[in-house]
């Protein structure tokens, strides 16, 4: 909304119309709305998903100017119901791994889409399998 639309809405509210908007001073209208890191990452990933693009942590860091570790933490938050419950998918980018100096270094890419994370996990789960427990060893010790 531009400055003139805010002024018009403020005038209407003074006259009893306009849905109860209160009059705003120019400095209040021009005040920037700062977005959180999670909101910025969400916008970037949803924009990429519209074009079916997968992005690595390195690419997301370059695009958002945030460190990779911080982006990784925000990806976990985006899966939580209180932060949108988005489905954040992850897969290996094999061709990029061949360009790495270490053969053990993995490159992961991410894509986000709308949907509930719990529902996507339940669909992917095979019947009869139990979730892994922390500290559980394969040999039963």
What are the extents of the domains in the chain? 1-33, 37-123
pLDDT at 79: 92
Q: Are 87 and 117 in contact (CB under 8 A)?
A: yes
**Amino acid 64: pLDDT:** 93
Q: Residue 59: helix, strand or coil by DSSP?
A: helix
pTM of the predicted model as reported, rounded to 2 decimal places: 0.58
Question: Which tokens is 134 given?
Answer: 């922390």
* pLDDT by position in tens, the chain (length 141): 344 554 555 555 455 544 555 666 666 666 677 889 999 999 999 999 999 999 999 999 999 999 999 999 999 999 999 988 899 999 988 887 777 777 777 888 999 987 665 544 555 554 444 444 455 445 554
What CATH class is the domain 37-123?
A: mainly alpha
Q: How far apart are CA 65 and CA 46, in angstroms?
A: 17
HEC string of 77-116 equals HHHCHHHCCCEEEEEECHHHHCCCCCCCCCCEEEEEECCC
pLDDT of residue 31: 67
């Amino acid at each position: 909304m531009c400055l003139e639309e805010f002024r018009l809405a403020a005038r209407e509210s003074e006259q009893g119309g306009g849905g109860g908007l209160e009059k705003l001073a120019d400095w209040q209208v021009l005040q920037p709305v700062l977005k959180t890191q999670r909101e910025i990452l969400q916008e970037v990933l949803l924009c990429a998903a519209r074009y079916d693009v997968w992005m690595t942590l390195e690419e997301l860091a370059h695009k958002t100017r945030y460190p990779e570790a911080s982006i990784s933490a925000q990806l976990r938050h985006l899966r939580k119901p209180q932060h949108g419950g988005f489905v954040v998918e992850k897969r290996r980018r094999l061709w990029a791994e061949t360009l790495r100096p270490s053969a053990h270094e993995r490159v992961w890419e991410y894509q986000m889409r709308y949907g509930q994370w719990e529902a996507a996990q339940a669909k992917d789960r095979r019947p009869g399998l139990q979730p892994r427990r922390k500290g559980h060893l394969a040999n039963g010790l």
